Amino acid sequence: MTREEALKLVRDKVQEPELVRHMQAVAAIMEGLAVRLGGDAERWYLAGLLHDIDYGQTKNEPERHSIVGAEMLAALGLDQEIVYAVKAHGLHEETVPRRSIMDRALCAADGLSGLITAAAYVMPSHTLAEVQVKTIRKKFKDKAFARGADREEIRTCETFGLPLEEFFAVALEAMQRHASTLGLA
């Protein structure tokens, strides 16, 4: 599946524009992480873009979230590593262990994308251009800011060899490269 095909699928299945932008932000971060960690940038990007493909169907049944998406992607013949990462991102690790760096990176990127987006929204320009790593560090420490951004999931970056500060930098740079697509330029 190409990026264009994946984006078309996302737009067909996901009705909320904010969720589509979130999925694109996670894709950007995953691409940046793949480059930094030696992964396959295309596959990691697709995992990020498709990770919440089932959210519209499962938002009222969170225990099914990611299972339905993984089944949908498997039926379309997507690479099994992508399918597994999508499945693992939405479930407790005890249920579906995060086996690969891609699996763990997707969980960490999912949370950090929201924190960075929220940081951009509170900037005077409401853009990513003003956000700096020190901004993210400060907002990360403030538990009341972007409460939905799971700090423990974000911290799992350390399990795949990136210190928190470096993860912030990689993610911010990746999102800044895609700022216009994310509506944050």
Per residue in 96-107, pLDDT (tens digit) is 888 899 999 999
**Do the Cβ atoms of 79 and 43 come closer than 8 Å?**
yes
> In the structure encoding, which two tokens stand for residue 128, read together?
């990513």
Q: What is the pTM of this model?
A: 0.96
Alpha-carbon distance 29 to 143, whole Å?
22
| Res 149: pLDDT | 95
Alpha-carbon distance 157 to 105, whole Å?
7
Number of helices followed by number of strands (H, E) in the chain: 10, 0
Alpha-carbon distance 185 to 16, whole Å?
20
Q: Which of 37, 74, 62 is nearest to 161 (CA)?
A: 37
As to burial, measured by CB atoms within 10 angstroms (0-12 exposed, 13-18 middle, 19+ buried), residue 63 is exposed
Kindly give, in sequence order, each residue whose CB lies less than 8 Å from that of residue 29, ignoring residues fewer than 6 positions away: 48, 109, 112, 113, 170, 171, 174, 175
Helix H or strand E encompassing 146:
none
Q: For the chain, which domains are there? A: 3-177 (1.10.3210)
Q: Which of 49, 183, 180, 182 is nearest to 110 (CA)?
A: 49
SS3 130: helix
Question: Which parts of the chain sit beneath pLDDT 50?
Answer: none
SS3 98: coil
**Do the Cβ atoms of 86 and 73 come closer than 8 Å?**
yes
